[in-house]
Amino acid sequence: MAKSKSHLGKVKVGKDVIVLHTMAYLFCGMISALCLIPFIMIFSGSFSSEAAITANGFSILPQDFTLDAYRNVFREPIVIVRAYATTIILTIVGMIIGLMIQTMTAYVLARRDFEWRNAFSFFFYFTTLFNGGLVPTFILYTRTLNLQDNYLALLLPLLFSVYNLLIMKSYIIGIPDSLIDAAKIDGCGELRTLFQVVMPLIKPALAAVGLFIALAYWNDWYNAMLYIKDETMYPLQYFLYQKVNNIEAYKKLIASGAVSASAVSAISLPTQTLKMALTIVVTGPIILAFPIAQKYFIQGITIGAVKG
């Protein structure tokens, strides 16, 4: 009797849960599918022959299976391997340094006892609204700092992002003051409070912002285009963009009226399958590394546990 009652009770409590779960699975499942299908098409496309793709468009399964596109990408395997290494090292170094600076700054800006916090927030935020354009930045890097063909020219531009800073601040601001005050009463300095009390509490935030910084480095080709001439220093994405950007250049060339027939025939266009293979080559590793960060978004943390 008692058993059935509790069972009944569970069903009663569970109804909302069932509704929610149904919604959650349907919604997330649908969005995941919409995100996955195009990627599968790109994946299959990268293993298809160019002729089949131009004739029939994209499809779920490879058409006329071939490795041609990948042979083209890996024509010089050493170059690709070196580019991978460059990108991976840059991503890791940039992420660690960037995360440190961002967290430290966000921590100060989130301190309610720091009267100047809004002034400094404004100081940072203002730079997202106004910028001087490409020319002065280019001159700064190449002339003033003389960083052409220097890895610093790839590291520095993405090291600090106000966007990430303010997201981080919004996470830190949620930590109760009492916790931090308690730490200070225990004799912790600011840095120790930050590292030993605050950081463990915002692991999900660190993982998220760390991921964003890493993605920014991983996807960056623009700075390489501007500042790197030495081919041995190219990061991975730059290979992709050099090839893909040819299409744009080509369209402009055709549209520009005075067309040089020599130039038209010299420009080599990436095939559709090559574009797709490059997407896979560039995306693969970071998707495989994603679960490392992911576990922090999946498991919550208990402040009580830290507090205790």
Site for another protein in 253-282 (CB under 8 A): 253-269, 272, 275-276, 279, 282
6 binds another protein (CB under 8 A): no
| CB of 86 vs another protein, minimal distance in Å | 18
- As a whole number of angstroms, the distance between CA 79 and CA 219 comes to 18
Tell me which residue of 107, 78, 87 sits closest to 190, measured CA to CA: 107
| CB of 167 vs another protein, minimal distance in Å | 6
- As a whole number of angstroms, the distance between CA 219 and CA 238 comes to 9
Instruction: Sketch the per residue contact string, 67 through 106, with another protein: x for CB under 8 A, - otherwise.
Output: ----------------------------------xx-xx-
128 binds another protein (CB under 8 A): yes
Instruction: Sketch the per residue contact string, 21 through 60, with another protein: x for CB under 8 A, - otherwise.
Output: x-xxx-xxx-xxxxxx-xx-xx--------x--xx-xx--
- Side-chain half-sphere CA neighbours of 288 within 13 A: 6
CB 198 within 8 A of CB 100: no
- As a whole number of angstroms, the distance between CA 247 and CA 294 comes to 36
| CB of 71 vs another protein, minimal distance in Å | 14
**Closest to another protein by CB, 4 or 262:** 262
CB 97 within 8 A of CB 245: no
116 binds another protein (CB under 8 A): yes
- The three-point CA angle 210-159-130 to 5° equals 115
Size of the site for another protein (CB under 8 A): 139
CB 167 within 8 A of CB 209: yes
- Binds another protein by CB under 8 A, chosen from 1, 2, 5, 130: 130
- As a whole number of angstroms, the distance between CA 166 and CA 128 comes to 11
CB 178 within 8 A of CB 304: no
| CB of 216 vs another protein, minimal distance in Å | 11
- The three-point CA angle 136-94-120 to 5° equals 60
- As a whole number of angstroms, the distance between CA 146 and CA 142 comes to 5
**Closest to another protein by CB, 11 or 28:** 28
**Closest to another protein by CB, 86 or 272:** 272
- Binds another protein by CB under 8 A, chosen from 174, 177, 181, 292: 174
- Binds another protein by CB under 8 A, chosen from 64, 67, 127, 177: 127
- Side-chain half-sphere CA neighbours of 71 within 13 A: 6
How buried is 153 (Cβ within 10 angstroms: 0-12 exposed, 13-18 middle, 19+ buried)?
Answer: buried
287 binds another protein (CB under 8 A): yes
**Closest to another protein by CB, 17 or 81:** 17
61 binds another protein (CB under 8 A): no
- Binds another protein by CB under 8 A, chosen from 9, 10, 118, 292: 118
**Closest to another protein by CB, 2 or 13:** 13
Interface of this chain with another protein, residues 187 to 246, rule: CB under 8 A? 189-191, 201-202, 204-205, 207-209, 211-212, 215, 219, 225-226, 229, 231, 240-242, 244-246
DSSP assigned state of 268: P
184 binds another protein (CB under 8 A): no
